[in-house]
Structure 1
């Protein structure tokens, strides 16, 4: 079954800005850059609050990127359902990311009526090495 997105990057970014303005409290840091069948790409432009000692991006920031990205890939395919919520997220930190932009590719693994499962693969924007990998499950409220 091929998944057809119903929201494009502009619609997803507008939804995040309007419904979750706290994401961009210190300036816009998350941006959906691509939407395709069953997948999205979201970019993180970190600022100082996303860094930790040792010259790297913090674990909580990587977790947030995976969560926001997986949420966006689900919304891209079900529409702007603000009350879809994370029920679980498991992340593996694989490499120390550089303190710069990150790219996160998110794919839907299963999209049901009540639950969606997605994976998020995070990369340094200018590299091919996987920095972190996560799987997430979202509860979709009844329509």
Structure 2
């Protein structure tokens, strides 16, 4: 896949750095390229639920944003991304020293993109799939 924006990396980094919620949750970029995006998050007490697992809302936000930025990396300079639907399957409780998310675009379209995210918990270097999301995103023209 190829980005439609010549300076897509700068465009993506500028947009990512403006997103307050993902920074509140502690989500950081690991790496990215055209059509894919990887993030990580160190679980801290503020994002744990009553059983000390990472809250499903934090996992869903991570999956949504990571998929969104995978799609955004392919879009033209004056285009933005907007999630219009997502489905997440929570496969097992997320507990560990690190949570990672890997997203890729499945189908880039003229107006609609479909991407997927896989979220893993990492404990002693061993990854376990904890959630999988399918995200549908609209392309929004900006002035």
TM-score (norm 1): 0.82
Distance 1:53 1:47 in 2: 13
Structure 1 residue runs without a partner (length 5+): none
Distance 1:97 1:110 in 2: 28
Q: Is the 8 A contact 1:15 1:80 kept in 2?
A: no
CA RMSD, Structure 1 to Structure 2 (Å): 2.3
Moved over 6 A (4+): none
Pick closer, same or farther for the CA change 1:65–1:103 going to 2, 3 Å.
same
Shift of 1:142: 3.7
Pick closer, same or farther for the CA change 1:102–1:133 going to 2, 3 Å.
same
Distance 1:11 1:123 in 2: 27
| Larger strand fraction of residues | 2
Question: Could you give the per-residue CA deviations for residues 25-83 of structure 1, whole angstroms, max 9, x where no partner exists?
Answer: 4xx71112111343221112332221011121001011001011011101111156674
Pick closer, same or farther for the CA change 1:14–1:90 going to 2, 3 Å.
same
Give the length in aligned residue pairs. 137
Distance 1:31 1:80 in 2: 23
Question: Could you give the per-residue CA deviations for residues 68-126 of structure 1, whole angstroms, max 9, x where no partner exists?
Answer: 10111011111566742111000000011115321101010000110000000000133
Structure 2 residue runs without a partner (length 5+): none
TM-score (norm 2): 0.82
